[in-house]
Structure 1
């Protein structure tokens, strides 16, 4: 499938309203079957739409996972439709969620829609959940509201078969520069889930704050977490808080990737414990935004006892596969010390059963077997630095692509953007979308690319409204880069699908940047 999807998206679906009158005397057709973000792998439209009514039931397989996903779907649909939508494990139903041994992959699904109902089929619960996100987007945007809306509730007819391009589709939230509460993180998780993102990278420590409780080194959180950029009160997650984030993310089929940055970006830790400093003197807490001035003391054995404790406790709280060790902007650490440090730390991560992820500077040392390097350079990054990363990829290191001048969500859209930074340039919506991860880094094999991640750094962000404004509308594009086949990648058709998301964001209370590059519906805002 190449341009077939695009042509489908640029015409209205020929849906026929069935089962009652549309509100205010207006006939309302179902949205086009393929008008979804991320773009599905395959779309075959045709037939009469399904009309969700007060008699609709949700049939689920008799499994705990299917029941949970059914309850999640019902929880979205009930407030806006006003319908009971009871769950059942037998008989006929308007919406069916089925787990089968079919060849859908770990996250793929099939959605079949017609006048008799909608069936979502998947091999694994994650695929079933992703199919539910597609169904959400096929229903009118008002389905997202928490009060009863008039409908009608139509789903275009046809078949979607879908699976992700990359297994790793991430978003990073920096809770170190400014602290975000458990509730704020949960809100972001829900926004990520709508676009089939499956990795939540939490940047838990930096110069300005340490955000996770460590029993063996308690002052990291109580003192190192006591402030933030600009001098606010900061905060930290208790172990119970962090486990609640992990649990909630898992319920949305996201894996949490915790990051403790090292050996640089460590002033909060150095301020908390004098013995971690080479001179034995703790520096003051830091609330500015400069980088590169701090470093753990590489020659001291206490450094590795400290890191062993931190990694051990964090790994025990984290059921996911990965632990991110940072590694960028270690300007106060010599190259030789950096290599020695990474040679000591990576085995600690492995000892506690986790796979290392590091920023791409890790490739200047020797990445551990199976490690992933997260590339955050620019189009203008030196050829030598790109070649270093490409060589590591050729030798087996997997890559996560996060080029800062493409996919850093904290970069200003334009010079007039009231939030964000601009050191990587201005990143408008088209620039964030219009690049190919599989061919981005010269010399890196396409097979080395494990996926993409959209980082959101928080030097200038302190509220959920700030997160929303900088993430939307660029986040859905990052999700599409990670999920959709390369053959579907086309700005002219994507911007139409993206524009159709605006009423949904309005219904969800997501404030977004109205880029002039996108043909937003005139009825929004």
Structure 2
């Protein structure tokens, strides 16, 4: 019996070693070990391509070449049969296929597919079989090997998406390209760009130049937003981005959100509005809207009874269709303030003329008109599942993005509408991952956390009939950067959860979270090499406070060593997150010192209490710039605080630096991964 236990322990150890060795995300459909020696990269390694597969080979070499200690040779041949080295073999039987095989022996690595997309995905698996640092910039040392095995793989869903809202916070083309790189590495194929909302219009429309005027695209200075959070994309920039994504087999789906969420349109083209409410006549950060309108929603919408609106949308979608070759255009349709229609006399008269009994029918009328416009451009219309409120009157060509409600996916599918699952319960990544006291910026309007386990455990097909399953196109995660805005902050929210999304979008649906966590250990090293920050519990917490540290009436100076948290030029965020006790804290000021000398200070008065809702001004947060970082310097955070009504107060002191240049450095560069 003892010997059997020893053998079993050895087998378990061997299995764990193998699992770590093949740490591919998403998990391939089938992996078979051959028992042969590993393939070893050498300066003589040749990458063989045909004219049809050349682009895939070139992109793959480009993705790993910065870290290899030698240059891989690329050779184009008419046939790759019998070649030793790395072979990209494209069959022309099914050019749209995403399936692939990967065969590794000591002599050759053959990536084979019937489609360019499949060949590209096979190349990404090859990259993940190499040391995780291969995607970085630092040169690798020692042998670079790939284990001998055979992989047969294909995706579960055709839509494997991520939505980035670039209206609430604008991001540069370079940031979007980096996200495309990461998405494609993990076999995600759809980038949904939320290009317009109440916080800004972000795409150039040549027929309507005022859409990209300053008041439609830039936050006024009184809101203290960094300049980089405002702006718009020219059509040429977007065409370049589309080409970059297409080479990596990512489609970009544009969204122009109508008839609500249209503030930039209404303040520039008031003749399209349903009423005469236009204050203020500029865009403002999302959280500020609560202090102007009392909530996040504007006091105006497009006028669904106005023919000028449909001409405007026809013109806009004509230009959008010319920029984006995707077969889809998203028109939004969510969170329309129907009360504005119900209280409007000319809208009520219009509804009577059309025989409409309620505003839901008017919404469907609008959706039908817009869907026809989009279909007229050769595209498929997509709307948020809010439009299902009057499902019986929706056009048959409507596609549904299901975000709202536990039964949203089934509700869309039971009517026969093609649907993408993107539920706020599992796939809204602006929602927190841990406690609301950990200092990570998240939308606390949602009273729950979404952990990596929650994401991984989600199955969009659960509870669907076979007919309804045929309507399920796939899954998508969404990032609404109203609260987390810095690139580092959205990265901390997106990762590692985006890899969980990639797994459920591609893999076969069989769940084993322990196995996934084991594979993630290698992926964390890969994210480090890519200079991508990712969530770690309490990673912003540098200290805690308790009553013995608090003084009542008189201000006390607190100092904390933050040397390990300062690692580049950037904007540091410091703050006090009250957690419990009868008394809150007054905050007088915060300073950042370099070798004892003040280099930045924020002198506004703040208050640390338990209220951290989305609409609350976050005066407990302080911002300090590091403009000339010195690697050998000591950095200290200094603040002045006092108890409010007493000293019975507990909480977390938080600090996080966001580099000015995204994806150039990460905190683990200085501290290692903890």
- Do they fold alike, i.e. is TM over 0.5? yes
- Matched with 2:514 is 492
Structure 1: state its 5+ residue gaps.
1-6, 15-30, 380-385
Summarize the Cα distance change of 1:281–1:275 in structure 2 as closer, same or farther, 3 Å threshold: farther
Q: Distance in 2 between matches of 1:260 and 1:440?
A: 32
Q: Distance in 1 between matches of 2:250 and 2:494?
A: 18
Per-residue CA shift, 1:412-444, capped at 9, x if unaligned? 112124212133321111112111111167998
Q: Distance in 2 between matches of 1:82 and 1:449?
A: 45
- Matched with 1:407 is 427
Q: Which of 21, 24, 31 pairs up with 1:43? A: 31
Q: Distance in 1 between matches of 2:378 and 2:58?
A: 33
Q: Distance in 2 between matches of 1:208 and 1:280?
A: 19
Find out whether 1:211 has 2:202 as its counterpart.
yes
- Superposed, 1:171-210 pairs within 5 Å as 171-210=162-201
Find out whether 1:153 has 2:144 as its counterpart.
yes
Summarize the Cα distance change of 1:313–1:101 in structure 2 as closer, same or farther, 3 Å threshold: closer
- Matched with 2:282 is 285
- Superposed, 1:245-264 pairs within 5 Å as 245-264=241-260
Q: Distance in 2 between matches of 1:371 and 1:49?
A: 50
Q: Distance in 1 between matches of 2:466 and 2:443?
A: 30
- Matched with 1:352 is 377
RMSD: 2.5
Summarize the Cα distance change of 1:324–1:367 in structure 2 as closer, same or farther, 3 Å threshold: same
Per-residue CA shift, 1:450-484, capped at 9, x if unaligned? 10001111112333222321111000110111101
What's the offset of the Cα at 1:101? 4.6
- Superposed, 1:336-415 pairs within 5 Å as 336-365=361-390, 366-379=393-406, 386=407, 390-414=410-434, 415=436
- Matched with 2:459 is 436
Structure 2: state its 5+ residue gaps.
1-11, 287-294, 342-358, 539-667
Q: Which stretch shows the higher mean deviation, 416-425 or 42-51? A: 416-425
Q: Which of 354, 360, 377 pairs up with 1:335? A: 360
- Matched with 1:524 is 673
Summarize the Cα distance change of 1:141–1:444 in structure 2 as closer, same or farther, 3 Å threshold: same
Larger radius of gyration: 2
Summarize the Cα distance change of 1:363–1:444 in structure 2 as closer, same or farther, 3 Å threshold: farther
Find out whether 1:83 has 2:110 as its counterpart.
no
SS in 2 for 1:452: strand
Find out whether 1:68 has 2:91 as its counterpart.
no
What's the offset of the Cα at 1:288? 4.1
Alpha carbons 1:370, 1:396 under 8 Å: kept: no
SS in 1 for 2:476: strand
- Matched with 1:27 is none
Summarize the Cα distance change of 1:280–1:480 in structure 2 as closer, same or farther, 3 Å threshold: same
Q: Distance in 1 between matches of 2:245 and 2:451?
A: 29
What's the offset of the Cα at 1:238? 0.6
Q: Distance in 2 between matches of 1:409 and 1:281?
A: 33
- Superposed, 1:302-341 pairs within 5 Å as 302-332=308-338, 333=341, 334-341=359-366
Find out whether 1:507 has 2:529 as its counterpart.
yes
SS in 2 for 1:465: helix
Q: Distance in 2 between matches of 1:250 and 1:296?
A: 33
Summarize the Cα distance change of 1:340–1:367 in structure 2 as closer, same or farther, 3 Å threshold: closer
What's the offset of the Cα at 1:286? 3.3
Q: Distance in 2 between matches of 1:459 and 1:79?
A: 35
Q: Distance in 2 between matches of 1:195 and 1:218?
A: 38
Alpha carbons 2:99, 2:114 under 8 Å: kept: yes
SS in 2 for 1:11: helix
Alpha carbons 2:260, 2:302 under 8 Å: kept: yes
Summarize the Cα distance change of 1:228–1:362 in structure 2 as closer, same or farther, 3 Å threshold: farther
What's the offset of the Cα at 1:78? 2.0
Per-residue CA shift, 1:293-345, capped at 9, x if unaligned? 34111111111111111111101111110000111111245323212211211
Q: Which stretch shows the higher mean deviation, 328-337 or 228-237? A: 228-237
Find out whether 1:271 has 2:267 as its counterpart.
yes
Alpha carbons 2:191, 2:253 under 8 Å: kept: yes
Q: How many aligned positions are there?
A: 488
SS in 2 for 1:216: coil
Alpha carbons 1:273, 1:282 under 8 Å: kept: no
- Superposed, 1:100-139 pairs within 5 Å as 100-101=91-92, 106-139=97-130
Is the strand fraction higher in 1 or 2? 2
SS in 1 for 2:321: helix
Q: Which stretch shows the higher mean deviation, 290-299 or 46-55? A: 290-299
Q: Distance in 2 between matches of 1:202 and 1:371?
A: 19
